[in-house]
Amino acid sequence: MVASSVVLVSGEGERFTVDKKIAERSLLLKNYLNDMHDSNLQNNSDSDSESESEANHKSKDNNNNNDDDEDDDEDEIVMPVPNVRSSVLQKVIEWAEHHRDSNFPDEDDDDSRKSAPVDSWDREFLKVDQEMLYEIILAANYLNIKPLLDAGCKVVAEMIRGRSPEEIRRTFNIVNDFTPEEEAAIRRENEWAEDR
């Protein structure tokens, strides 16, 4: 039986049931599901070679076991996502549901991916506190969701663009641990990168 949904389990153990098509927005989950499908096909072809008496014996054993709930659990595809907190996984699922039928530039087409602007829905979606934004980016990277990763990184890049080092430090709460001499040397080495 082919499952139409997948249960994602967050790092805290919270379960999220999502449509298989939504889960497949993640290349990690898509590959996991494909591997499971291939494994099931292999197991099914192996089981076809069992003798009929062995199959009947198993059938009798299953009929004696009245735990219907356990049979349902066996059909359920569960994917642990231990590196992602529940609140972040919920946001990632929200993004995937919105982009269920979206067509993104091909993963190999770096120029299109880099130059494509962040769409208005994604921009609004990513208007969250910095900690959540970073966790969404980390989750997108872990789950291999390139379009979400790209959008998150572009939003962070826009937070940096055109700002002085001091402004960037304030924005991201970065402590300046360079001595004035080290900072001057770094500025000289990277003079070519300054906006003029």
Q: How far apart are CA 139 and CA 128, in angstroms?
A: 15
What is the domain range of residue 143? 5-160
pLDDT at 105: 65
Write the pLDDT tens digit of every residue in 136-160: 999 999 999 999 999 999 999 999 9
Q: How many residues does the structure list for the chain?
A: 196
Q: Is residue 177, in this structure, part of any structural domain at all?
A: no
pTM over 0.95: no
Is residue 77 helix, strand or coil?
strand
Q: Point out the least confidently predicted range of 83-92, 121-130, 138-147, 181-190.
A: 181-190
pLDDT at 37: 67
What is the number of structural domains in the chain? 1
Burial group, residue 116, by CB count within 10 angstroms (0-12, 13-18, 19+): middle
CATH number where 84 lies: 3.30.710.10
Write the pLDDT tens digit of every residue in 80-115: 999 999 999 999 999 999 998 888 766 666 666 677
pLDDT at 103: 80
Q: Is residue 150, in this structure, part of any structural domain at all?
A: yes
Q: Is residue 68, in this structure, part of any structural domain at all?
A: yes
Q: Is residue 183, in this structure, part of any structural domain at all?
A: no
Closest CA to 156 of 141, 134, 135, 140: 134
pLDDT at 138: 97
Q: Tokens in use for 26?
A: 């993640």
pLDDT at 55: 46
Q: Is residue 184, in this structure, part of any structural domain at all?
A: no
E strands within the chain? 5-9, 15-19, 77-80
Q: Is residue 192, in this structure, part of any structural domain at all?
A: no
Write the pLDDT tens digit of every residue in 11-66: 999 999 999 999 999 999 999 888 876 666 665 555 555 544 454 454 445 444 44
Q: Is residue 180, in this structure, part of any structural domain at all?
A: no
